[in-house]
Amino acid sequence: MKQRFESLEILKTAEEKEQCEVPRISADQNTGKKRKLYLETYGCQMNFSDSEIVSSIMFDNGFDTTSDPYSADVIFLNTCSIRENAEQKVRNKLAQFAHIKRNKPSMMVGILGCMAERLKAKLLEEEKLVDMVVGPDAYRDLPSLISEVDEGEKAVNVFLSREETYADINPVRLGGNGISAYISIMRGCDNMCSFCVVPYTRGRERSRDVASILNEAKTLFEQGYREVTLLGQNVDSYKWSSEDGTETVNFAQLLERVALINPLLRVRFTTSHPKDMTDEVLHTMARYHNICKYIHLPAQSGNNRILELMSRGYTREWYLGRIAAIRRILGDDCGISTDIITGFCSETEEEHAQTVALMKEVKYHYAYMFEYSERPNTPAAKKYADDVPSEVKNRRLEEIIALQNSHSLELNNLMIGKVYEVLIDGTSKKSEEDFKGRTSNNTTVIFPRENRKIGDYVQLRITGCTQGSLFGVPVSE
């Protein structure tokens, strides 16, 4: 699941852009517990979901959460390693926390997540501020690790598990809108893309028990949530089997079971993989109104040689076949987004042009676009030279950003005059008089709030747009 931290990303709203560039911070929780946890989360939705698991474990072991690092007894940074810049942000933040720790020596600082797994004990050696390093499969061990630090020791657990899914832990929802929530359905990844650190920082793929997923979704609905996003590095490869072997559930079947909980519960998912996405999933989406018609389908490149070097497991032709299936089964209104990497090892101008041509053929609603950033110890770093000059990478990136800008505006213009159902998820940042919400195809709409409330569904006629969002008015009932 890739998120970009620089400002060159194409997102649909300023709110979404801010969520990517600014770390998500724990909310204030005051239940009278003796110690306080300050938690910052960097990167993707999976990291944010993990932070909710961490908060639950910490709450059960005597910690409330705080949004003020100065009042914290423990500071955790849940980190991302997808790009070098993401790791540098964490190092800069550690430097900012140094003065707090100088004035409060009893406060402990921990690095969690992918950066912890990738750098392991090196963080303790180089960053004298860090007291503990904890990988994404070791969060159950946090209470004992904290005890070690309390006793004056440094603490490390970066063990990667083949079984851990945290299925029995009820996440503490952190500072959300009370309407939308993430549900992790699987952990790890078996797709060994040559540029990616995820298999090494999150371990092998394993799917979570179906019953625990459904119970979490039902509980969220009963608590007033009206939208869940099913999370996995590759949701299409979800496969759970009962211990006695009498039942096997694939992703399409899981998707249907979640949709059947209640027609008022919207269901989203991310991320899909082009080599694994099936027509069965698409037909399931088509059958249920409450399964949102939006798919994030990373292409990464439009050239077959580069795709092979990336170990993506599909060709340009296969990818376009999946796009054709989406449009055949779900229609042209289905939102499609993607990831694109420019300047991968040995990429030529002609190969870059094929990526541009792919974007022109598909016309994505939006995209996450990156310059290639070599990550240590990945297959690409070991086998290929990072030989495309940075200025060439940047020029190519700017080219596809400009193209995506035009496509986003073009597709939004096509929605003007149509009526869409929108789930209200908050107040517009520009005006307290306006609400915002998303269509099924994941486009944000701004509209007059009138007498409606967050969590309501509303039918809106689209009256205008920008590149990033739509404007609408309620349709008279």
Q: Are residues 446 and 331 in the same domain?
A: no
Q: Are residues 70 and 153 in the same domain?
A: yes
Q: Are residues 429 and 410 in the same domain?
A: no
Phi, psi at 144, each rounded to 5°: -70, -35
Task: Say whether pLDDT at 43 is over 90.
Answer: no
Give the helix/strand (H/E) hosting 277: none
Torsion 172-173-179-180 (CA) sign: negative
Q: Are residues 119 and 95 in the same domain?
A: yes
Q: What is the pLDDT of residues 21-32, one digit of tens each?
A: 467 888 888 889
Q: Are residues 299 and 427 in the same domain?
A: no
Q: Are residues 403 and 423 in the same domain?
A: no
> CATH number of the domain that 204 lies in?
3.80.30.20
Please state the pTM of the whole predicted model: 0.91
Domain boundary (363, 382, 414) is at 414
Domain that holds residue 429: 419-474
Query: Is residue 8, in this structure, part of any structural domain at all?
Result: no
Number of domains into which the chain is organized: 3
**Cα→Cα distances 278→171, 187, 253, 315, 347, Å:** 30, 20, 12, 16, 30
Kindly state the tokens that stand for 149.
């630090």
Q: What is the pLDDT of residues 108-121, one digit of tens each?
A: 999 999 888 888 87
Q: What is the pLDDT of residues 185-215, one digit of tens each?
A: 999 999 999 999 999 889 999 999 999 999 9
Q: Are residues 103 and 188 in the same domain?
A: no
Q: Are residues 340 and 470 in the same domain?
A: no
Model pLDDT, residue 10: 37
Cis check for the bond before 271: say yes or no (omega within 30 of 0): yes
Model pLDDT, residue 340: 98
Q: Are residues 129 and 258 in the same domain?
A: no
Query: Is residue 23, in this structure, part of any structural domain at all?
Result: yes
Distance of CA 145 to the CA centre of its chain: 27
Domain boundary (414, 434, 457) is at 414
Higher-confidence residue: 177 or 131? Answer: 131
Per cent of the chain over pLDDT 70 is 95
Domain boundary (107, 126, 157) is at 157
> Residue 133 in 3-state DSSP?
strand
Query: Is residue 25, in this structure, part of any structural domain at all?
Result: yes
Query: Is residue 109, in this structure, part of any structural domain at all?
Result: yes
Q: What is the pLDDT of residues 144-178, one digit of tens each?
A: 999 999 999 999 999 999 999 999 999 988 767 89
Model pLDDT, residue 17: 38
Task: Say whether pLDDT at 321 is over 80.
Answer: yes
> CATH number of the domain that 91 lies in?
3.40.50.12160
Q: Are residues 265 and 346 in the same domain?
A: yes
Question: How high is the mean pLDDT of the chain?
Answer: 91
**Cα→Cα distances 69→75, 90, 366, Å:** 7, 15, 35
Confidence of residue 366 (pLDDT cuts 50, 70, 90): very high
Model pLDDT, residue 477: 55
Query: Is residue 153, in this structure, part of any structural domain at all?
Result: yes
The residues near 254 (Cβ < 8 Å, ≥ 6 apart) are 185, 210, 213, 230, 238, 240
Q: Are residues 280 and 342 in the same domain?
A: yes
**Cα→Cα distances 174→180, 259, 417, Å:** 11, 24, 37
Query: Is residue 172, in this structure, part of any structural domain at all?
Result: no
Query: Is residue 204, in this structure, part of any structural domain at all?
Result: yes
Q: What is the pLDDT of residues 398-442, one digit of tens each?
A: 999 999 999 999 999 999 999 999 999 999 989 999 999 999 999
Query: Is residue 350, in this structure, part of any structural domain at all?
Result: yes
Torsion 433-448-259-337 (CA) sign: negative
Q: Are 183 and 257 in contact (CB under 8 A)?
A: no
Kindly state the tokens that stand for 203.
């371990």
Give the helix/strand (H/E) hosting 369: strand 366-371
Kindly state the tokens that stand for 2.
């890739």
Task: Please tell me the number of Cα atoms within 13 Å of 52 on its side-chain side.
Answer: 18
Lowest mean pLDDT, pick from 79-93, 262-276, 290-304, 366-380: 79-93
Q: What is the CA radius of gyration of the chain?
A: 22
Confidence of residue 83 (pLDDT cuts 50, 70, 90): confident
Q: Are residues 423 and 371 in the same domain?
A: no
